[in-house]
Chains A and B, each alone.
Chain A
Amino acid sequence: EAAVTQSPRNKVTVTGGNVTLSCRQTNSHNYMYWYRQDTGHGLRLIHYSYGAGNLQIGDVPDGYKATRTTQEDFFLLLELASPSQTSLYFCASSDTANTGQLYFGEGSKLTVL
């Protein structure tokens, strides 16, 4: 069974704070993704990567950085957090063929006060 693990599961920070969300997958998948989920918007793609050292910009990248250090690990960085980044963040992975099947983590709830 595919496994994607996110940490922390919950995080509270203040405006201007520095936050790192971590994701590890044990699926040997090449693709990894960061999405944010907000009511009324579904999931929106922030950044994604197709391998270690690679980064691709998604649809809502402003205010976010990401880094893929290994095939397994993908990090989302908020260097100056703002209240508009309060959201539920999901990491996902998929294989190279990427026929539409993503494997998701359980989510990280971020609150920016």
Chain B
Amino acid sequence: TQTVSQSDAHVTVFEGDSVELRCNYSYGGSIYLSWYIQHHGHGLQFLLKYYSGNPVVQGVNGFEAEFSKSDSSFHLRKASVHWSDSAVYFCAVRRGSALGRLHFGAGTQLIVIP
């Protein structure tokens, strides 16, 4: 069974702080990894993705994520958060062969205090 784990349900930081949102997965094989953001009352929006190559990928609005095969992780980071980054962040995993079957973590709510 493929699982996606986001260990922190909530993360609270101050504006200007750095933040790391954690994502771990359990699956052996080629996978696609991605992060999505959901602002309150809206659908999810794509942030970034990784499949192969440089393990550090850049996304929109200063977000980046780093893939680690040894840790089975794909953590999302931002060096300096803004209050508008307050949202729920979802990690998603898809097996390379399973077209269409994207599995999401439970989400991490990021609260940025101005």
Contacts and interface: CB of A to CB of B under 8 A. Distances in A.
Contacts of A43: 44, 90, 104
A102 B49 contact: no
Interface string B77-94: 000000000000010101
Interface residues of B, number: 26
Contact of A102 (B42, B44, B51, B103): B44
A75 interface: no
Interface string A78-113: 000000000000101010001111111111000000
B99 A50 contact: yes
Given A42-B90, A99-B32, A104 B100 contact: no
| Size category, A interface | 20 to 34
A31 interface: yes
Contacts of B46: 101-103
A48 interface: yes
Contacts, number: 67
B101 interface: yes
A45 B92 contact: no
B102 A105 contact: no
Interface in A1-47: 4, 31, 33, 35, 40-45
Contacts of A105: 43
Contact of A98 (B41, B42, B99, B106): B99
A31 B104 CA distance: 17
Given A31-B100, A42-B4, A106-B42, 15 more contacts: A4-B43, A31-B99, A41-B106, A42-B107, A43-B104, A45-B103, A59-B103, A90-B43, A90-B44, A100-B102, A101-B49, A102-B44, A102-B102, A103-B46, A104-B36
Interface of B: 4, 6, 32-34, 36, 41-46, 49, 51, 90, 92, 94, 99-107
